[in-house]
């Protein structure tokens, strides 16, 4: 891993084909500018590395990320934030654009920017004591790292507006009920469960997984006809891959679900 000024705020660990982007800025993983840029860097590394086939975003056993670094933001004026706002969004979007399955393993607080970072994953696993929310309105602000856009796309506009307008936190059961998280497990099992989910997909057909992710994500941003065209092009293109040959041959010879992909 390339050493730089941000090496202590987050790092990438790889095992079983799974790359874990681990936030490491105690005590609350506040997402200052340096950490935002480190996340962008690690997302790019996870995208490029062939030994990373799926990704877990994790904040540690006690907290995912409690939000932005308010002390850093407090001294920024309008001109400074105009210059920074795009970089903030781009850092998080780099995670959303990783062309591999991504799961957020959420323990403790995932608030503000922490919640927005979790929204960039394909799925979210939460511990029983997890708390999620967008409290920016309590600071006289709105979410600025994608919350006003990704949250309503995930849980619907009414539920998203409730969270954004009130700034309230939701506990894990409510987050599960509204679709903000996809699985709730005991706190001690969050990372294990997330890593197991990612490891299972890491053993799958990489190009087909990328095709599935990009088809869904791109299709959600356009009309149905265009979305069907995106799906059609990816579907036909996969017939040129070795994984497609392997999967179909295994199905015919051994039955479903037994293929071993390279």
Catalytic residue numbers read 68, 113, 116, 136
CA atoms within 13 A on the CB side of 147: 30
Residue 105: closest CA among 12, 23, 14: 23
CA dist 36 and 42 (Å) reads: 10
Residue 104: closest CA among 120, 80, 82: 120
Q: 133-139: which pairs have CB atoms within 8 A and are 24 or more residues apart? A: 133/163, 133/167, 133/168, 133/169, 133/170, 134/163, 134/164, 134/167, 135/67, 135/111, 135/167, 135/168, 135/169, 136/112, 136/164, 136/167, 137/164, 137/165, 137/166, 137/167, 138/167, 139/70
CA dist 161 and 85 (Å) reads: 21
The answer to whether residues 87 and 67 touch, using CB atoms and an 8 Å cutoff, is no
């Amino acid at each position: 891993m390339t050493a730089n000024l941000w090496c202590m705020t987050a790092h990438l660990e790889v095992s079983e084909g799974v790359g874990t982007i681990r936030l490491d800025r105690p005590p609350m993983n506040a997402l200052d500018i340096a950490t935002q840029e480190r996340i962008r860097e690690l997302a790019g590394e996870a995208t490029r590395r062939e030994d990373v086939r799926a990704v877990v975003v994790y904040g540690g056993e006690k907290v995912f990320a409690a939000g932005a670094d308010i002390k850093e933001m407090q001294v920024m004026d309008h001109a400074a934030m105009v210059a920074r706002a795009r970089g903030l969004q781009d850092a998080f979007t780099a995670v959303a654009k990783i062309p591999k399955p991504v799961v957020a393993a959420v323990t403790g607080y995932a608030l503000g920017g922490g919640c927005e970072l979790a929204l960039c994953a394909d799925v979210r696993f939460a511990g029983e004591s997890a708390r999620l929310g967008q409290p920016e309105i309590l600071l006289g602000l709105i979410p600025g790292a994608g919350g006003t856009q990704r949250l309503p796309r995930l849980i619907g506009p009414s539920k998203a507006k409730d969270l954004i307008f009130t700034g309230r936190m939701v506990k894990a059961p409510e987050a599960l009920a509204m679709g903000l998280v996809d699985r709730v497990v005991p706190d001690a099992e969050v990372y294990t469960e997330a890593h197991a989910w990612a490891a299972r997909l890491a053993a799958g057909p990489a190009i087909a997984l990328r095709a599935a992710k990009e088809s869904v994500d791109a299709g959600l941003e356009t009309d149905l006809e265009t979305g069907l065209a995106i799906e059609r092009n990816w579907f036909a293109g996969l017939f040129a891959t070795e994984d497609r040959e392997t999967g179909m041959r295994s199905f015919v010879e051994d039955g479903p679900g037994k293929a071993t992909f390279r």
